[in-house]
Structure 1
Amino acid sequence: MTHNPADSTLERAIALLDRLVAFDTESSRSNLPLIDFVEDYLLGLGARFARIPNAEGDKAALFVTFGPNADGGVVLSGHTDVVPVTGQKWTSPPFVLRRDGERLYGRGTCDMKGFDAICLAMAPEFLAAPLKKPIHIMLSYDEETTCAGCLDTIKRFGQDLPRPALAVIGEPTLMQVADAHKSVTTYRTIVTGHEAHSSKPWLGVSAVHVACQLVAALERIGRDLEADRDEQARFDPAFSTVHVGIIQGGTARNIMARQCEFFWEFRGLPHASHRAALDRFEAFCAQIAAERLNGFPNAKIETIVETQAPGLRSEPDSAATTLALALAQANHTIAVPYATEAGQFQSGGLPAVICGPGSIDQAHQPDEYIDIAQLAEGVAFLRRLAGQLST
C-alpha cells in the first residue's frame, strides 16, 4: 500500500512519533515525561483525559475520551514502555527518529509508539467527527515487563471512567486482526542447599546439583505439554512451552553451593491453565526435597510467580472481531505467539483483538523500524473507525 504524502494526519503522526521516540521509556524508567508531553498536546486540542498513576507515583497511564462521555464505543490501547537497547548494535542513536526512504528507525517505532502516534495524530479528526459512540485512547506502562500497567485503568471502567464496549490493542500485526495469543507466566525458583567441602559431599547438599535436576524436570514437563496441541494449528509452535532463561549460583568449584536460582517461563495456549506446568513442577520439587534435602533444616526449594499475563481466547463472533475485520477490510483473523495486554482486557470483561502497524519481527531488534506505509494503513483504519461510530 502506498501512502499519500499530502495526508496531514500521517505527517502529524510521523512528527509525533519523532517526539515519542525521543523519550527513553525503557520499562525500568519513568514514563512521566512522555505522559506530560501527551497531556500538553491534548490540552492544546481541548481533549478530555484522565491520568492514572501507579502506586509508587513514578509512572502513569493515560485515558483519553472523544465523543460522548458515556459507556460504549472503542478503546484503542497502546503501551508507552520499550525494551532496553543495552548491548545492541545500532547504526544510529536509538532514541532519535531516523528516516531512511520509507522507513522510520528508532526504539519503539514498531513496538509500539507507532500505534500511539497515529492514535494521537487522529485526535483532531476524532474531535471534529460527529461521534455517536466514544473513541478512547489508553496509553499504559510496564507492558514489556508485567503486562500489568493497564490493570488499574481497566478496574475503573464503569466506575469513574466510561466502560468501553470493546478494545483494540495496537501491537504490531501488519494491520492484520489477531484474535488469539498465548499466556505467559514467569517464575523464579530458588534452591537453598547446605555448604560443605566438595571432597565430602555427604556433609552437605549442592543447590546447583538440585537446581539442575529441577531444570531437567522442566524440560521433561515441556515435552509432555506438546501432547496438548492446538487442533487448528493457529500457533507456531502449536503447543504450550516451558523455557529456562537464566541460572546462577554457587561460590567456588570446591564448595558445595548453598544457593542457586533460575528464571523460567510458561507460555500457554489460550485454553491451558496457567498452572499447567507449575503444578507438575511443584510436585517434582516436593519429591526432590524429600529425597535430597531431608536432614538439612535450612535447605528448601521456593518458586515465586513474578508476572502473569492471561492468554487471549478466540471469540470469532465477538463485537471486537467483527468490527476490527470490517475496519481492516479483511475476512480472516490470525493468532500470535507473543503475549499482549489484550488478555487483560478480555479478563476484565471486554471483547478484545490485536491490530496495529508494523511487524513483530522488527520489535526488540537493533535498528527497529516501521514502514511509513504501515502508519498510513493505521490512519486509514482509525478513519474508518471514526466513520463507523459517527453513523
Structure 2
Amino acid sequence: MIPSTPEILARLVAEPTVSRTSNLALLDYVEALLAPAGARIERFAHPDGSRANLWATIGPEGPGGVVLSGHTDVVPVEGQDWSGDPFTLVERDGRFYGRGAADMKGFVAAALRAALLAASRPLKVPLHLALSYDEEIGCIGVRGLIEALAARPERPALCIVGEPTGMRIAIGHKGKLALKACCHGQEGHSALAPNALNALHLGAAFITALQARQEELAFKGARDADYDIPYSTIHAGMMRGGTALNIVPNRCEIDFEIRNIAEDDPLKILEGITADAETIAAPYRNRFPTACIEIERVSGYPGLATASDAPAVRLLSRILDHDDPTLKVAFGTEGGLFHETLGISTAVCGPGFMDQGHKPDEFVSAGQLSRCDAMLARLIDVLEAGDP
C-alpha cells in the first residue's frame, strides 16, 4: 500500500537533516521506498561522504522527462521557541507542524508519493526526482548532481522546483553572491590608539560604502516591479573583530551579500564594491603597508528568469487547479542552476508559504499538500500520455 503524503512527511521531518550534517538516513528511507517500485537510483556524495544528492528515475530510459527537484536539508532550530519537538510532525487544526514542513519536505513527500504512483503506470516519458543537500547555505550540494547530469548526452526536458509558493507558478527569483571582506589593520595598545590602525574602523567605513552602493541601486539602478523589493540589494549580515577593549584590533571580517535582479550583473556590482575597499584602505599604506580590505567569494547561485510562455510554465498551467498569474519570489532556489547549467526549462511551484519557514512552529497546511498531490497526479497522466 502506498503511504500518504503526510505519512511520508512524518518520516522526513523525523530526520534532523540540518545543513552540513548527514542526510544519509533520510536517503536510505527514500531508497527503501523507491527501489522496490523499480526506480533507478543514483547518489552523488559530498567529498567527505557524510551527505549526498539522490537522483531517481521512474519510467522509460532515454532523454527528456520532468524533474521534481527538492532539497533535504533544513535550517537549525537552536534559539527558537517551539511548542513541541521540531522533529516530530504534529497535525493540528488542518496544519502539519515540524521543521522543514514548508521548506521543503512537504513537496519532497508529495514527490515521493507521486513517484510510487507513477511506478505502476505505463509512462511514455520519464519522471525524475532530484533530492539535494546543503541548499540552505547557498545551493551548494546540488552542484555535483547537476554537473554529472551536464556531462551526459541525454538530459531531462523540464524541471519543477517545489519550493513553497502557495501552489502558484514562480518564474523568477534574484541571484545571490555571498561574500566575506577581511579588513587588515595594525594592532597596538589602546592608550596609543592613534599609532595603530583599527581594523574595525576600516570595517565601519566599508559598511558605510556598502550602504552608499545600496542607495545608488535603490534610487538609480534597474528595477523589476514583480519583486517585493524591486531592485538589487546589498546586505551586511555579520561583523567580527577585536579580542580585548585595550587592544586596537588588527583584523575585522564582514559577511555580506548581493542579491541581484536579472537586469543587473552582480560581478559589476562587486567591481564597484572592490574599488570602494581599495579607496578606503589606500590612504593608510604610507604608515601601515599591510593595510587592505580583501574580498572573498564564499558562495552564490544564479537567478531565475523564466519566460511566462516557457515549456515548464505551460506544463504547470495545464496541471494546476487554478489560473492565477505567475509571480517572482524573494527567496533563492536551485532553479537557476538547473536552467543555467543544464539548459532546461524551469519553474518553481510547491505547497506552503515561505513566510512559515525558518521560524518556530513551521507548518504546511493539509489543503496545500492535497493541492500538490492533485497537481502531481495530473502530471503522471501527462507523462503516461507522452505529452508533457
**Deviations for 1:89-129, whole angstroms, at most 9, x for unmatched residues?**
00000000111121100000010000000111122211122
Provide closer, same or farther for how the CA distance between residues 237 and 158 of structure 1 changes in structure 2, counting only shifts above 3 A.
closer
Provide closer, same or farther for how the CA distance between residues 55 and 162 of structure 1 changes in structure 2, counting only shifts above 3 A.
farther
Residues of 2 paired with 1:59 and 1:183: CA distance?
A: 25
What is the one-letter code of the residue matched to 2:284?
R
Residues of 1 paired with 2:315 and 2:265: CA distance?
A: 29
5+ residue gaps, structure 2, are none
Deviates more, 1:328-337 or 1:279-288: 328-337
Answer whether contact 2:222 2:263 (CA < 8 A) is retained. Answer: no
What is the one-letter code of the residue matched to 1:39?
E
Partner of 1:38: 30
Shift of the alpha carbon at 1:302? 1.2
Task: Choose which of 322, 335, 347 in structure 2 pairs with 1:342.
Answer: 335
Partner of 2:355: 361
Which runs of at least 4 in structure 1 moved beyond 6 Å after TM superposition? none
Partner of 2:346: 352
Partner of 1:142: 134
Answer whether contact 2:239 2:253 (CA < 8 A) is retained. Answer: yes
Shift of the alpha carbon at 1:153? 1.4
Shift of the alpha carbon at 1:270? 2.1
Residues of 2 paired with 1:386 and 1:158: CA distance?
A: 25
Partner of 1:115: 107
Secondary structure of the corresponding residue to residue 183 of structure 2: strand
Residues of 1 paired with 2:153 and 2:351: CA distance?
A: 27
Residues of 1 paired with 2:113 and 2:307: CA distance?
A: 30
Partner of 2:188: 196
Q: What does 1:81-230 correspond to in 2, within 5 Å?
A: 81-157=73-149, 159-160=151-152, 162-226=154-218, 227-230=220-223
Answer whether contact 1:185 1:307 (CA < 8 A) is retained. Answer: yes
Provide closer, same or farther for how the CA distance between residues 356 and 161 of structure 1 changes in structure 2, counting only shifts above 3 A.
farther
Answer whether contact 1:68 1:133 (CA < 8 A) is retained. Answer: yes
Answer whether contact 1:50 1:64 (CA < 8 A) is retained. Answer: yes
Between the two proteins, the alignment pairs up a number of residues equal to 382
Partner of 2:44: 52
What is the one-letter code of the residue matched to 1:389?
L
Between the aligned residues of both structures, percent identity stands at: 39
Task: Choose which of 377, 381, 386 in structure 2 pairs with 1:383.
Answer: 377
TM-score of the two chains, using structure 1 as the length reference = 0.94
Shift of the alpha carbon at 1:44? 2.7
Answer whether contact 1:188 1:305 (CA < 8 A) is retained. Answer: yes
| 1:22 corresponds to 2:21 | no
Shift of the alpha carbon at 1:162? 4.6
Residues of 2 paired with 1:280 and 1:111: CA distance?
A: 34
Answer whether contact 1:325 1:331 (CA < 8 A) is retained. Answer: no
Residues of 1 paired with 2:284 and 2:206: CA distance?
A: 12
Shift of the alpha carbon at 1:295? 3.0
**Deviations for 1:331-355, whole angstroms, at most 9, x for unmatched residues?**
5210001110001111111111000
Residues of 1 paired with 2:297 and 2:286: CA distance?
A: 25
Shift of the alpha carbon at 1:131? 1.3
Partner of 1:322: 314
| 1:262 corresponds to 2:227 | no
Shift of the alpha carbon at 1:219? 0.5
Shift of the alpha carbon at 1:25? 0.3
Secondary structure of the corresponding residue to residue 171 of structure 2: strand
Residues of 2 paired with 1:161 and 1:26: CA distance?
A: 34
Secondary structure of the corresponding residue to residue 275 of structure 1: helix
Residues of 2 paired with 1:210 and 1:124: CA distance?
A: 57
**Deviations for 1:136-171, whole angstroms, at most 9, x for unmatched residues?**
011001110020211121122264585110110000
What is the one-letter code of the residue matched to 2:36?
G
Partner of 1:297: 289
Give the RMSD, CA atoms, in angstroms. 1.6
What is the one-letter code of the residue matched to 1:310?
P
Residues of 2 paired with 1:92 and 1:388: CA distance?
A: 41
Shift of the alpha carbon at 1:251? 2.4
Provide closer, same or farther for how the CA distance between residues 293 and 208 of structure 1 changes in structure 2, counting only shifts above 3 A.
farther
Residues of 2 paired with 1:316 and 1:201: CA distance?
A: 59
Answer whether contact 2:282 2:292 (CA < 8 A) is retained. Answer: no
Secondary structure of the corresponding residue to residue 199 of structure 1: helix
